[in-house]
Structure 1
Amino acid sequence: MRTAAKLFAAISLAVVTWLWQRGLATAPGGLAAAGRLAALWSTDLLLLQVLLLARIPWVERAFGRDVLGRWHRWTGGGSFVLLVAHVGLALVAYAERSGTNPVRQLWTFLESYPGMWTALHGFAALTLVVVTSMRFVRRRMRYETWHLLHLYAYAGIALAVPHELWLGSDFDTRAAKAFWWPMYAAAALSTVVFRLGLPVWRTLRHRLTVDRVVEEAPGLVSVYLRGRSLDRLPARAGQYFVWRFLDGHGVLHGKPFSLSGPPSRNRLRITVKVIGAGTLRVAALRPGTRVLIEGPYGRMTKDTYSGGPVTMFACGVGVTPLLALLWDLPYGQGKATLVYRTRHPHDVAFLPELEWLARDRGVRLVPLVGPRASAGSWLPVGYGDYDDLAALRSLAPDLADHDVYVCGPDPWTEAVLRAARRVGVPGPRLHRERFAW
């Protein structure tokens, strides 16, 4: 599937290049032609980017959020660089032709060419999205703010379209229309149907409300939700939703939380670490609060399980999807291990459920308590006799034959995955749930 997706992207860029080349005979050459090609490549990557994150269910299941997110960053970054190149090349080319400077030429474009003011606003919106997506900027923002600003990408695309259609000679031919109109239609239709329509339909159909909020550990709360016909909601243990609670504050701010138990016919459970204003609101939710849902998302379900022994690594609130999987996976008696990393003993959550799983399904529980030994290790202090690899071999000498599930903060997760690869766990048996955004 990944090869097919990459091939589709490569073919689309090749078609764009072929269409541009056909139009060289009747359009300005030189820098202006290079600027048009940069614009066409940028547009193609931008539309592919929309399709990647349109939440199309079968695309989500085929690739997962990690892969789609990585491709989204690549196509988005490449598209923006090409867009900047298009603007720069067009300004220089037309300024040379008219004997003026690029700044004056920009004002001429805005004054005399239709759709240029909307294109300028679209460029500004896309610049805002790119800047706020940079890691060092994103880390300083609340998730809700980042997510809301990220929606400006759709405004940027919509504002850029008119000037392309009005001024772009590369869109005039029959072949160009046969390629571009279906691309635009697919991106727009996927966004409307899967980003808007499907969440609204599922929200209205299942009518989820808050049943109760329960403290699981200091700073960790579970929200139990009731709804209608939840057995028809295609949610599985290990997946997550984007939740919007209609409590009168920040309704537009959705936040992703994993299911912390297998879904039942009329009840779901999520568990939230209280670390900021948004999660404080969740901890204070009242019974009866209506809920808007978007999802389910995520591939870390029992569909990824190949059978045989299972070893899971959880850090902090990352235990939530793994606990749901422990209830759901069809492993044999005594064939599952949960390595549960917390900073303090009182941070351990779901102790009654874990004890039941240990007693009745033979799950081996390995608590790892204490601050991390070092930035590059997944072990806590106090385990000085072990390095990361020795610890894995001690936990499960045959770990290479296990399905390994990992969930926690990104640096900790990467440390576990590095060690697991070094002891021979093959890629298809390594499953992770990204904890960062």
Structure 2
Amino acid sequence: MTTVQTPPGVAQVQATGTSPKTVARTGLYALMGANVVAVTYFFAQSGFGTNALLLLGRVTGLYAALTMAFQFVLIARLPWFDRRLGMDRLTTWHRWTGFTLLWTLLAHAVFITLGLAQQSELSPVDQFVDLATTVEGVLRAIVALVLIIVIGGASARFARRRMAYETWHFIHFYAYVAVVLAFTHQVAVGSTFVSSPAATAYWWGLWAFALGSVVLGRFVLPLWRNLRHQLRVAAVVPEAHNVVSIYITGKDLDKIPAKAGQFFLWRFLTPDRWYKANPFSLSAAPDGRSLRLTAKALGEGSASLRGIRVGTRVFAEGPYGAFTSMHRTRPNTVLVAGGVGITPIRALLEEIRGHVVVLYRVSNPNDAVLMNEMRSLAHARGAVLHLLTGPSSAPTPRGPMLGPQSLVGMIPDIRDRDVFVCGPPAMTRAVLDSLRELEVPKQQVHAERFSMAG
């Protein structure tokens, strides 16, 4: 008798009927919804007043404070949420929530100023100056608003593309200053904050949870893990003229909760690199003895990796990412890689059970990184490996190389498989469009942003 085993990730989904992403997303929505209800209750408890503009100012200020706290939870890198939703999705939500915060804060400032000007019969400009110079906490709030505006401007696409990651990251550290200033403003003049002991306890608890999440996820966990594991470079192996693999060893590596498909933010502690954190995926499934990353020389940071010396200390933040077998829903799988996006795909091929088809898209065969390993793994696992080469615009009998008809031609049962996609943005979009046209169920499609993968 032959027994067919269902992979763990598939068994979990089949048993609960709910994907890990849905569970985590529902948890975040419920958390936000419960806090909206609490803020609304305490606002109503404190009284509405008679001035409509002041009422709008108070409402926008309260929900701006709640939004700011939620912002911090989104980028706290809490492992439970990150493994289920992925840093790319959480970062996208953080970005759009940030723009919501900016407009809400501006509305708060405008409505409060206009409402008080209406009562005092001062001009809005004179009222604004009076608030800044005579009311405790208002000047601090203005400084916080200016910082949020600067951070929002730095996050706009046209600015982000022209800015080094380190500069962008440094500017974002001022968000912590803005939070402290905004909170002291809320304590000083927020009527809802002091409307009752319960309201005061709620706001203190909310900010303790939000900032505590950041301290835990961004500082305590990385420091604790690196002190425990003492990571060092064990070997630097050129894979091609512009590709290098780095092997990392340390203590108790079997205790690092990393899975194939995830990535770390790596800092190599040399005088010229310690302040640079580069996201690189694991290019081999973790085995408890070493970790391996493989990088292509796409920028200054990755280009200098070839010169890293054996024995160099490493500070790694992570593991991060939801591009793992945890999210599988079907017994069989398709893995689609483009360029150096092969690194998490190669790790997944090593770990995933069931029948696997791999599509590896490169411009020419010389760009196929880790190809010998992929062939050996595919042979050992009984997987099917397709190397797709040539210009993207090159015609094929079935249309575009990664178009719907080509995918069905190579994988007739693609609608009954999970599909993992990692590659350059244009390629990833093309594959996702094809899967949508083929009506592959959304919960079976798993995509990793190339910028976070390596």
- Counterpart position of 2:391: 371
Deviations 1:48-92 (A, max 9, x none): 121122111112223333432333233222222111101111222
Aligned to 2:327: 304
Deviations along 1:360-399, one digit per CA (max 9) or x if unpaired, are 22222211223322xxxxxxx2436414111111111110
In structure 1, how many angstroms separate the alpha carbons of the residues matched to 2:136 and 2:301? 43
**Paired residue secondary structure (2:202):** helix
- 1:396 is matched with which residue: 383, 406, 411? 411
In 2, distance between residues paired with 1:242 and 1:20? 41
Counterpart for residue 100 of structure 1:
122
Q: Residue in 2 aligned with 1:435?
A: 450
Q: What letter is aligned with 1:422?
A: E
Match of 1:80 in 2: 102
Q: Aligned residue for 2:165?
A: 143
Q: More deviation in 400-409 or 241-250?
A: 241-250
What one-letter code is carried by the residue in structure 1 that aligns with 2:236?
Answer: V
Counterpart of 2:266 in structure 1: which amino acid? W
Aligned to 2:61: 39
Equivalent position of 1:56 in the other structure: 78
Alignment of 1:159 onto 2:178: no
Corresponding residue SS for 1:340: strand
Is 1:336 the counterpart of 2:349? The answer is no
Match of 2:396 among 375, 383, 386: 383
Q: 2:155 aligns to what?
A: 133
For 1:382 and 1:207, the matched residues in 2 are separated by 51
1:262 alignment partner, one of 285, 304, 308:
285
Give me the whole-angstrom Cα distance separating, in 1, the residues matched to 2:306 and 2:50: 61
For the residues of structure 1 that align with 2:392 and 2:298, how far apart are their CA atoms?
A: 19
Contact 1:144/1:255 (<8 A) preserved: no
Q: Contact 1:316 / 1:342 at 8 angstroms: preserved in 2?
A: yes
2:43 pairs with 20, 24, 47, which one? 20
Residue 242 of structure 1 is matched in structure 2 by: 265
State which of 235, 238, 248 in structure 2 corresponds to 1:225: 248
> CA RMSD for the aligned pairs?
1.9
Corresponding residue for residue 415 of structure 1: 430
| Residue number among 137, 144, 155 corresponding to 1:115 in the alignment | 137
- Report the 3-state secondary structure (helix = DSSP H, G, I; strand = E; otherwise coil) of the residue aligned with 1:215: strand
Deviation at 1:340, TM superposition (A): 0.9
Residue by residue over 1:287-329, the C-alpha shift from the partner in whole angstroms, topping out at 9 and shown as x without a partner, is 1111111111112222223453221110111110010011111
- C-alpha deviation, 1:234, in angstroms: 0.5
- Contact residue 217 and residue 348 of structure 1 kept, 8 A: no
Listed as ranges, the matches of 1:195-206 within 5 Å are: 195-206=218-229
- Partner of 1:436, secondary structure, is helix
Contact (CA 8 Å) 1:118, 1:159: kept in 2 or not?
Answer: yes
Relative contact order (C-alpha < 8 Å, sep 6+): which is higher?
2
Asked if the contact 1:305/1:329 (under 8 Å) is kept, the reply is no
Structure 1 runs of 4+ aligned residues shifted over 6 Å read none
The whole-number CA distance in structure 2 between the counterparts of 1:383 and 1:149 is 48
Q: In structure 2, what residue type is equivalent to 1:368?
A: L
Cα distance change, pair 434–211 in 1 and its aligned pair in 2 (3 A): same
Distance 1:124 1:209 in 2: 42
Tell me, in whole angstroms, the C-alpha distance in 2 between the residues paired with 1:272 and 1:41. Answer: 43
2: CA distance, partners of 1:255 / 1:118: 35
Q: Structure 1 length normalisation: TM-score?
A: 0.92
Which stretches in structure 1 are left out of the alignment for 5+ residues? 374-380
CA, structure 1 residues 285+120, in 2 after alignment: closer, same or farther (shift >3 Å)?
A: farther
Shift in Å, 1:401: 1.0
Residues paired across the two proteins, number: 426
CA distance in 1, matches of 2:53, 2:139: 22
Matched position secondary structure for 1:424: coil
Residue 181 in 1 paired to residue 209 in 2?
no
TM-score, normalising length from structure 2?
Answer: 0.89
Residue 440 of structure 2 aligns with an amino acid whose one-letter code is V
Distance in 2 (CA, whole Å) between partners of 1:344 and 1:290 is: 36
Match of 2:340 among 290, 295, 317: 317
For 1:167 and 1:250, locate their aligned partners in 2 and report how far apart those are by CA, in whole Å: 45
Contact 1:244 1:291 in 2 (8 A): yes
Question: How many angstroms apart in 2 are the aligned matches of 1:355 and 1:392?
Answer: 20
One-letter amino acid of the counterpart of residue 432, structure 1 = A
- Cα distance in 2 for partners of 1:114, 1:362 equals 71
